[in-house]
Amino acid sequence: MIVSEDAHRGTAVIDRQEQDSDDLFAVAVQQFDIAADVIGLEDGIRQTLSHCQRELTVHFPVEMDDGSVQVFAGHRVRHSSLPGPTKGGIRYHQSVTINEVRALAMWMTWKCAVVGLPYGGAKGGVQVDPKQLSQTEVQNLTRRYTTEIQPFIGPNIDIPAPDVNTNPQVMAWLMDTYSMNVGYSVPGVVTGKPLELGGSAGRNEATGRGCVFAIEEAARTQGMSLSSARTVVQGFGNAGSVAARLMSEHESPVVAVSDSRGGIHNPNGLDLQAVTRHKQRTGSVLGFREAENVTNEQMLELECDILIPAALEGQITRRNAASIKAKIVAEAANGPTTPEADSILYDRGVLVLPDIFANAGGVTVSYFEWVQALQAFPWSEEQVNERLRDIMQRSYVAVLDTSRKYGVHMRTAALVRAIERVASFSRLRGIYP
């Protein structure tokens, strides 16, 4: 890999083909190196933070409904415990790899640090297509995976949460399995649980809501009126559908949305309630009668003011970055923009709200849930949303100030802010022994 860097802007151009998921950790390290160069990070801390602290890979059997046995591969990676317990989601997806999990764990460290949470980053995943499994098979898989990684997790060690294709029910099974194995109930071992089991009010909407709070601040500094700003949302899952709904509540015309099968576009704006009913009835947004079908690739290049990538990583690349029409790109997904695309968008004056900031609402409210579990004292949804808005607003101002101070784009600025914070923990704690 050959990297040339414009040190003034903190951007990079890479002489290689676009990354696949197995190269995602190389992207994460590259982004880290760019930010570390900006602040002149000392070599020892750079070496420490460019590696993941602990990694666990497990292969475990699951009995299927027909009596057969399948063996699945799972991972749990902890990037850094310098700031405190590690925190990160668990995803079920057929494309999960150890390098993807490493990258997501590193990004979780920066995500927690950029908004000031007392967590390091972690991530987990199982290589499986859960859509091919029954509910019972998903439960069996979850309970066995939990038992396999149990020595790695705990309320003061490493706290899992939902991610791609996992949900509050999966977290309930995880919490119950952990609790049964230790002999008493431990609600703080996971976040994203059902409310009945100690989940937090506002958690299900937190990622999308936090992203919209970030967009509000960006629009204010850009002099953009949200009521006239056209929005495109790639991905109509939890984060994307919430972000779309909240943008429409700002009277922003949401002109396109998509799911894994493709997207729909109406330049006059979509009736999101009708789109939701259509998806519930058919399983996809495709075929909605009041819109034109488009591909997920075409979605990104539609005429709009705000683009919210809320699907998987690697969506905006050097191949399509020059065709992005949006003025603000708010990354509700993890890693949707490659470093090459960052450079192109920065040169074109597109403001990118990077994932480690823009989608930090989920982990922020997960932190609130963890605090409530430790205190056994629930907060109201109004309290949760008010505290989330305050953190997102303060973090946006801090990242923007860092961007202007160093003359770098917002992703590098967010990384600089995060790395400076984690590096300070390293200096203060030293190296043991």
123 is catalytic: yes
Query: What span, in angstroms and rounded, lies between the C-alpha atoms of 174 and 146?
Result: 6
**What's the confidence (pLDDT) of residue 2?**
32
**What's the confidence (pLDDT) of residue 20?**
53
Query: What span, in angstroms and rounded, lies between the C-alpha atoms of 326 and 310?
Result: 15
- pLDDT of residue 87 exceeding 70, the answer is yes
Domain extent at residue 279: 206-358
C-alpha count within 13 angstroms, C-beta hemisphere, residue 261: 10
239 touches 208 (CB < 8 A): yes
314 touches 335 (CB < 8 A): yes
User: Tell me: the pLDDT tens digits for 344-383?
Assistant: 999 999 999 999 999 999 999 999 999 999 999 999 999 9
Contacts (Cβ under 8 Å, ≥6 apart) of 371: none
369 touches 200 (CB < 8 A): yes
- pLDDT of residue 13 exceeding 80, the answer is no
Confidence label for 204 from pLDDT (cuts 50, 70 and 90): confident
295: its two tokens: 């591909």
% of the chain at pLDDT higher than 90: 88
Confidence label for 9 from pLDDT (cuts 50, 70 and 90): very low
**CA-based angle 143:144:150, to the nearest 5?**
85
User: Tell me: the pLDDT tens digits for 33-79?
Assistant: 989 999 999 999 999 999 999 999 999 999 999 999 999 999 999 99
9: its two tokens: 């802007």
Which helix (DSSP H) or strand (DSSP E) does residue 180 occupy? Answer: helix 168-182
Name the residue among 206, 143, 135, 152 with its Cα closest to residue 175.
143
Q: Is 222 exposed, middle or buried (0-12, 13-18, 19+ CB in 10 A)?
A: middle
Confidence label for 22 from pLDDT (cuts 50, 70 and 90): low
Query: What span, in angstroms and rounded, lies between the C-alpha atoms of 237 and 252?
Result: 19
Q: Is residue 123 part of a domain?
A: no
H helices, E strands: number in the chain: 14, 14
Q: Is residue 419 part of a domain?
A: no
Strands 292-294 and 262-265: antiparallel
Question: What average pLDDT does this structure show over 274-285?
Answer: 96
Contacts (Cβ under 8 Å, ≥6 apart) of 122: 76, 77, 78, 79, 86, 87, 88, 105, 108, 158, 160
Total domains, the chain: 1
Computed over every residue of the chain, the mean pLDDT equals 93
Q: Is residue 386 part of a domain?
A: no
316 touches 339 (CB < 8 A): no
Q: Is residue 233 part of a domain?
A: yes
Which of 123, 193, 279, 327 is an active site residue?
123
Cis peptide before 433 (omega within 30 of 0): yes
Q: Is residue 255 part of a domain?
A: yes
Contacts (Cβ under 8 Å, ≥6 apart) of 392: 115, 210, 213, 214, 217, 360, 361, 364
**What's the confidence (pLDDT) of residue 236?**
92
Q: Is residue 134 part of a domain?
A: no
CA distances from 355 to 17, 248, 308 (A): 22, 21, 10
C-alpha count within 13 angstroms, C-beta hemisphere, residue 214: 35
DSSP state of 156: T
Supply the CATH number for residue 250's domain.
3.40.50.720
C-alpha count within 13 angstroms, C-beta hemisphere, residue 406: 27
Q: Is the Cα torsion angle 372, 420, 328, 165 positive or negative in sign? A: negative
Q: Is residue 412 part of a domain?
A: no
Query: What span, in angstroms and rounded, lies between the C-alpha atoms of 327 and 222?
Result: 9
Query: What span, in angstroms and rounded, lies between the C-alpha atoms of 401 and 396?
Result: 8
Confidence label for 168 from pLDDT (cuts 50, 70 and 90): very high
Query: What span, in angstroms and rounded, lies between the C-alpha atoms of 329 and 334?
Result: 13
User: Tell me: the pLDDT tens digits for 143-163?
Assistant: 999 999 999 999 999 999 998
Q: Is residue 264 part of a domain?
A: yes
